[in-house]
Amino acid sequence: MFLNALTRILSLPAVGLSRIPGLGPLVRACSTSVGQKIVMAITGLSLCGFLVVHLGGNLLLYAGEEKFNAYAHALHSQGALLKVAEVGLFSLFAAHLGLAVSTGAMSRMARSQSYAMKESKQGIFALPAGGASSWMGVTGVLIGIFVITHLLDLRLKMNPLVKYPAPVAAAEGMTPELNEFEVVRTVLSSPINAVVYFIGIFALGIHLTHGLRSAFHSLGLNGRRWDSLLKCGSLLFGWVIAAGFISLIFWSFAVPR
């Protein structure tokens, strides 16, 4: 009942768009199970691209305070362009989440009862209850909680459990700036945050190992020739991304104060 109600709410924008002349057939095509899976695959792959870029920027923490602050300040100086990018990124995330809920509800409605047994497709990387595919909902929720925490910590800087460093006085006539290097180190070295971030990033790794492979399947790359390559590639991508972000948690405790 809850999923059905949430699906109806999430479908309201699509209902409105379908009434615009010329968009109706496209919206209706994307409202089918197959169409939604294709759009969800595209949004998922777009978010994977963001993760690569985001991890690349964060790894500059290893290069030292000066280089990371230069990167962070250059990024924040983009002003309106950064705002547009953030809105676009949030829209991708919201669309991916909404489509996941919608396709999940449609799948439940399409079958009268659950499968008696779920067969894992993850081989030696299997997880309890049928592999990573069975954990997509759980990991998706954990990732959502992690994203909200991450935004409060580092974008809005509103976490009451974190004692943020004082702004550094800038040149005369300029607004004082935060030392973003110190902000990140302070946030990640908080014991509670370290646990939350570790769980969220580990969930992200699990999500990616199935999600990336599933996205390419939805886009038509689902033959036997591609399956082994997609399985290995998804596992590698998911855990490399997760390992890269998790390494920053350990970095925050190891770097000299």
Neighbour count for residue 181 (Cβ, 10 Å): 21
Domain co-membership, 226 together with 104: yes
Assess whether 142 and 22 both reside in one domain: no
Give yes or no for a contact between 235 and 125, defined as CB atoms under 8 angstroms apart: yes
65 and 175 inside one domain: yes
Q: 257 falls in which pLDDT band (50, 70, 90)?
A: confident
Pair of tokens at residue 62: 């290893």
Would you place residue 100 in the very low, low, confident or very high pLDDT band (cuts 50, 70, 90)? confident
Calculate what percentage of the chain has a pLDDT beyond 90. 49
**Do 70 and 191 belong to one domain?**
yes
**155 and 240 assigned to the same domain:** yes
For residue 67, pLDDT over 80 is answered with yes
User: Measuring CA to CA, which residue among 35, 208, 23, 176 is closest to residue 106?
Assistant: 35
Give the residue from 66, 45, 65, 95 showing the smallest Cα distance to 217.
Answer: 45
Could you tell me if 14 and 50 lie in one domain?
no
- In this prediction, residue 186 has a pLDDT band, given cuts at 50, 70 and 90, of very high
When comparing pLDDT for 204 and 176, which is higher?
Answer: 204
The strand pairing partners of 177, in sequence order, are 168
pLDDT range class, residue 189, cuts 50, 70, 90: very high
Residue 129's pLDDT band (boundaries 50, 70, 90)?
Answer: very low
**Can you list the positions of beta strands (E) in the chain?**
none
Q: On the CB side of 157, how many CA atoms lie within 13 Å of its CA?
A: 12
Res 222: pLDDT: 80
pLDDT(115) > 50:
no
Mark whether 50 and 91 lie in a shared domain: yes
The predicted pLDDT at position 196 comes to 95
* Residues 198 and 248 reside in one and the same domain: yes
CATH of the domain at 130: 1.20.1300.10
Q: Are residues 8 and 62 in the same domain?
A: no
Sequence-distant (≥ 6) Cβ neighbours of residue 43 within 8 angstroms: 92, 95, 96, 99
* Domain count of the fold of the chain: 2
Which residue range(s) make up the domain with 153?
A: 39-112+120-254
Pair 100, 203 in one domain: yes
Question: What's the pTM value of the predicted model, to 2 decimals?
Answer: 0.81
> Which region among 12-16, 119-123, 143-147, 195-199 has the lowest average model confidence (pLDDT)?
119-123
Statement to judge: residues 92 and 209 lie in one domain? yes
216's tokens: 């390419």
Nearest to 174 by CA among 77, 78, 84, 82: 77
Mean pLDDT of the chain, nearest integer: 82
How much is the pLDDT for 90?
92
What does the pLDDT look like over 9-63, one tens digit per residue? 656 666 665 566 666 666 666 677 788 889 899 999 999 999 999 999 999 999 9
Rounded CA-CA distance 31/48 in Å is 23
pLDDT digits (tens, 9 = 90+) for 209-240: 999 999 999 998 887 778 889 999 999 999 99
Round to the nearest angstrom and report the end-to-end CA distance of the chain: 52
Which DSSP state fits 168? B
